[in-house]
A and B are shown apart, each in its own frame.
Chain A
Amino acid sequence: ILNVEQSPQSLHVQEGDSTNFTCSFPSSNFYALHWYRWETAKSPEALFVMTLNGDEKKKGRISATLNTKEGYSYLYIKGSQPEDSATYLCALLHGSSNTGKLIFGQGTTLQVKP
C-alpha cells in the first residue's frame, strides 16, 4: 500500500519564526508531488507541483524542495505570520496510472501565534 507520511503532525510557532516540515513517500515510481495549504472552511489551495529530483520552488515566503531518490520533500516557511496558520498537505501522484490519483499525507497543522 502506497503510504505518504508527514511530520510533525502539528506545530506551534511564534510570529516571525521560520519553520519547516517533512513529507516522506516511497521513492519508486515517482511522478509528481503536490503541496497544498488548507484553511478551515476553505478550498485546499495548491502551492506547488514538483516533479524533478533536486527541484526547489518558491512562492513568497514559502518554498519547497524535493528529493525523489530518498523519498522526501521539505516545505519551508520563512518569517511565519498568523495568516500562515493552516494545515499543509502533501500528496503523491500515484505512479501506476495517468489518471491523476493523489495519495495524501495526514497533514501538518501549523499555528502561528502573534
Chain B
Amino acid sequence: EPEVTQTPSHQVTQMGQEVILRCVPISNHLYFYWYRQILGQKVEFLVSFYNNEISEKSEIFDDQFSVERPDGSNFTLKIRSTKLEDSAMYFCARTKASGEETQYFGPGTRLLVL
C-alpha cells in the first residue's frame, strides 16, 4: 500500500493564527482530499482536488480554508485564521483515480487551537 506522509504530526496554535498542513504526494496519484475528525465525531470531508483545481468542497470549507499544490510538490491545507472549533485531526488522502479506487490516508495532523 502506498505510503502517505503528513507534516507536522501535531501542531498547537493560538486562535487567529494561520496554519499550513502538508501532505506529500505520490507521483501517479492524481486526486487529493482533505478530511478532518473533531474529537468524538465522524470523519468528515472537507475538499477534493484534481488537476490543480478544487473539484468539490463541503460547507465546512469556507473562506478561511484554502488548498494548493505549489509546483507539483506538497499538497497543502491552509487555515488563515484559526478558531477553537478548528481543533481536530486533519487527514490527507490520495488516489490514482476517483470513484471506486481506494483512497490512501496519511496518519493525520493533530491540530489544537488554544
A and B from one complex: yes
Q: How far is the CA of A31 from the CA of B101 in the complex (A)?
A: 11
Question: Given contacts A43-B4, A43-B106, is CB(A100)–CB(B101) below 8 Å?
Answer: yes
Tell me if A43 and B108 are in contact (CB < 8 A).
yes
The reply on A44 being an interface residue by CB < 8 A is: yes
Tell me if B100 and A99 are in contact (CB < 8 A).
no
Contacts of B31 in A (CB 8 A): 99-100
Tell me if A105 and B42 are in contact (CB < 8 A).
yes
Tell me if B100 and A46 are in contact (CB < 8 A).
no
Cβ proximity bits A74-114 to B, threshold 8 Å, 1 near / 0 not: 00000000000000010101000111111111110000000
Contacts of B58 in A (CB 8 A): 101
- Cross-chain pair count, CB within 8 angstroms: 69
Q: How far is the CA of A32 from the CA of B4 in the complex (A)?
A: 22
Contacts of A4 in B (CB 8 A): 42
Q: Choose from B1, B35, B98, B108 the contact partner of A99 (Cβ within 8 Å).
A: B98
Number of residues in A with C-beta < 8 Å to the partner? Answer: 27
Q: Which 8 A-B pairs have the closest CB atoms?
A: A99-B55, A100-B98, A104-B43, A99-B56, A44-B105, A99-B48, A46-B102, A43-B107
Interface residues of A (CB under 8 A from B): 4, 31-32, 34, 36, 41-46, 49, 51, 89, 91, 93, 97-107
Interface residues of B (CB under 8 A from A): 1, 4, 31, 33, 35, 41-45, 48, 50, 55-56, 58, 91, 95, 98-108
